[in-house]
């Protein structure tokens, strides 16, 4: 009987565990997934959560929380996968042990590392302390609540208008958040009886242009959409310092004063990995793997998703951190562990495919890049986005639960659009 331990129940960890439970009987393997939460966080909807406007809120925002947190119990019901809610604190590769909070020790024959990433502010003074970040539900809800408070204050004449937002970093996360904030602020402003022109959202990018990784035509579509919904774009504007109510652009440059600063400028591999003796990491702290996704020099340790570096053989550049990448890698790792457990010699190789993306840009508008020559934008793009989410829910949940989750999400988030 093999002990398979999966650390991190993100997109990659969940896929690995589900696939393994389908491929290996409980007589062959014990499959355990450890995560610090008891739910799988559906990160692509986190911005909707931060910017959702609900008139009747309960103190803990349970309804909102449920739309992005999928209980592991629902995912792994009847699968044989054991889920442990605990913070992993130490991994001893030599002893093949994982130690969690409370000093519980888990031995393994195969270990899958899916820790994801954490926010990186690149040492910019004040950026870690004074910006809102988006890696978890509480952070998203905190911003949501603060926005509502500030608009109420402004409606009572206790805060000056416009309410100002800075979104720092114009990658996919930055443009999505800026777009959602615009919709939310509009709704709150109307509900508070405030006038036009009381929202000011600036999207600040250090590089020469927003979304450097996409083509010019798509960039233009997104730029036009952002401007249409009132977002100001500042390019070639590196943030050098952040204070409680300002950002400073460029060396000795101007200070822009603001009410909210949201950091979407970057992420780095989980710093936890640095403490694992014997694990080979690249310069950015990500796990180096072979083409079968085994950690270099450790054939019983596997790594996937955002905490892993994998060079695209076609470009020799690291592939991007995407949910679909983590999912595909999870499938390959599950297949390879199954083969080893069943005594097969040949392992599968991971072939990266990440050409498709969908970027929501406020309201019922998204840009869907389906291949080099096919881009669909506007409401049809938004429908594609909804279908992508539904496909994911159907892949991890029973059909009725997937459909009800999709219906709940759509009902709540559509109010913001
Ligand atoms: C706001 C946001 C929006 C995004 N939108 C999209 C999108 O629209 N499309 C897309 O393709 N990608 C999107 N991404 C990127 C995508 O979510 C990631 O690429 C994907 O989540 C990576 O999956 P993963 O399995 O590597 O890690 P994650 O999904 O991040 O999972 C990591 C897991 O590890 C757990 N964990 C971490 N440390 C510990 C510890 N010490 N002990 C126990 N558990 C631990 C965490 O709780 C978490 O469950 C988005 C990311 C963010 C932040």
Q: Is the CB of 173 under 6 A from ligand 1?
A: yes
> What spacing in Å lies between the alpha carbon of 117 and ligand 1's midpoint?
7
| pLDDT band, residue 54 (cuts 50/70/90) | low
Contact 362, 179 (CB under 8 A): yes
Does the predicted TM-score (pTM) go above 0.85? yes
Q: Is the CB of 69 under 6 A from ligand 1?
A: no
> What spacing in Å lies between the alpha carbon of 326 and ligand 1's midpoint?
9
Q: Which residues pair with 321 in a beta bridge?
A: none
Helix H or strand E segment including 323: helix 323-341
Q: Is the CB of 174 under 6 A from ligand 1?
A: no
| Tokens 């590089």, located at residue | 207
219-235 pLDDT per residue, tens? 999 999 999 999 999 99
User: What are the distances in angstroms from CA 282 to CA 69, 112, 307?
Assistant: 31, 18, 11
Q: Is the CB of 120 under 6 A from ligand 1?
A: no
Structure tokens at 96: 């093949």
The phi, psi pair for 99, rounded to 5°, reads: -115, 130
The atom number, within ligand 1, closest to the CA of 37 reads: 47
> What spacing in Å lies between the alpha carbon of 323 and ligand 1's midpoint?
7
Q: Is the CB of 12 under 6 A from ligand 1?
A: yes
314-330 pLDDT per residue, tens? 888 889 889 999 999 99
Q: Is the CB of 116 under 6 A from ligand 1?
A: yes
Which 3 state secondary structure label does DSSP give 269?
Answer: strand
The atom number, within ligand 1, closest to the CA of 135 reads: 53
- Given a cut of 60, whether residue 55 has pLDDT beyond it is no
Map out the domains of the chain with their CATH numbers: 2-36+86-119+268-341 (3.50.50.60), 127-265+357-414 (3.50.50.100)
> What spacing in Å lies between the alpha carbon of 116 and ligand 1's midpoint?
5
User: What are the distances in angstroms from CA 235 to CA 33, 194, 293?
Assistant: 42, 30, 37
Q: Is the CB of 169 under 6 A from ligand 1?
A: no
The atom number, within ligand 1, closest to the CA of 86 reads: 43
* 406-412 contact pairs (CB < 8 A, 24+): 408/63, 408/66, 408/67, 409/45, 409/48, 409/67, 410/386, 412/48, 412/52, 412/54, 412/63, 412/64, 412/67
Q: Is the CB of 36 under 6 A from ligand 1?
A: yes
What is the spatial distance between Cα 380 and Cα 388, in angstroms, rounded to a whole number? 12
Contact 203, 167 (CB under 8 A): yes
The closest alpha carbon to 319, from 274, 277, 357, belongs to 357
Q: Is the CB of 48 under 6 A from ligand 1?
A: no
The atom number, within ligand 1, closest to the CA of 320 reads: 19
What is the spatial distance between Cα 256 and Cα 227, in angstroms, rounded to a whole number? 19
The closest alpha carbon to 70, from 42, 46, 50, belongs to 42
192-223 pLDDT per residue, tens? 777 766 789 999 999 999 998 888 999 999 99
Position 203 scores a pLDDT of 97
347-362: average pLDDT: 92
């Amino acid at each position: 009987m093999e002990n398979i331990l999966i650390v991190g129940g993100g997109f990659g960890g969940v896929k690995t565990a589900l696939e393994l439970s389908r491929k290996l009987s409980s007589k062959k393997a014990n499959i355990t997934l450890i995560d610090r939460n008891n739910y799988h966080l559906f990160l692509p909807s986190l911005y909707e959560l931060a910017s959702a406007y609900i008139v009747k809120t309960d103190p803990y925002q349970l309804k909102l929380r449920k739309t992005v947190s999928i209980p592991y119990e629902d995912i792994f019901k009847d699968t044989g996968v054991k889920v442990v809610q605990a913070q992993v604190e130490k991994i001893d590769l030599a002893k093949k042990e994982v130690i969690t909070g409370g000093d519980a020790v888990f031995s393994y024959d195969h270990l899958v590392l899916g820790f994801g990433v954490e926010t990186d502010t690149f040492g910019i003074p004040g950026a870690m302390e004074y910006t809102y970040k988006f890696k978890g539900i509480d952070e998203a809800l905190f911003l949501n609540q603060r926005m509502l408070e500030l608009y109420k204050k402004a409606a009572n004449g206790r805060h000056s208008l416009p309410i100002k937002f800075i979104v720092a970093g114009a990658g996919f996360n930055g443009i999505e958040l800026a777009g959602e904030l615009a919709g939310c602020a509009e709704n709150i402003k109307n509900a508070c009886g405030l006038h036009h022109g009381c929202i000011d959202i600036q999207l600040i990018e250090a590089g020469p242009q927003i979304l450097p990784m996409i083509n010019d035509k798509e960039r233009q579509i997104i730029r036009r959409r952002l401007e249409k919904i009132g977002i100001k774009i500042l390019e070639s504007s590196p943030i050098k310092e952040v204070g409680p109510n300002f950002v400073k652009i460029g060396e000795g440059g101007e200070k822009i004063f603001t009410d909210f600063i949201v950091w979407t400028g970057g992420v780095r591999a989980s710093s936890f990995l640095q403490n694992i003796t014997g694990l080979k990491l690249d310069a950015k702290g990500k796990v180096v793997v072979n083409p079968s996704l085994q950690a270099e020099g450790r054939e019983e340790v596997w790594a996937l998703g955002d905490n892993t570096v994998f060079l695209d053989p076609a470009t020799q550049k690291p592939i991007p951190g995407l949910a679909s990448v983590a999912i595909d890698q999870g499938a390959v790792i599950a297949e390879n562990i199954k083969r080893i457990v069943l005594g097969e010699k040949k392992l599968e190789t991971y072939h990266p495919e990440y050409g498709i993306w969908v970027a929501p840009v406020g309201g019922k508008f998204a840009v869907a890049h389906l291949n080099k020559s096919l881009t669909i934008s506007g409401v049809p793009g938004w429908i594609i986005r909804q279908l992508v989410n539904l496909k994911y829910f159907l892949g991890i949940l029973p059909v009725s639960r997937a459909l009800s989750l999709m219906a709940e999400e759509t009902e709540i988030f559509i109010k913001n659009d």
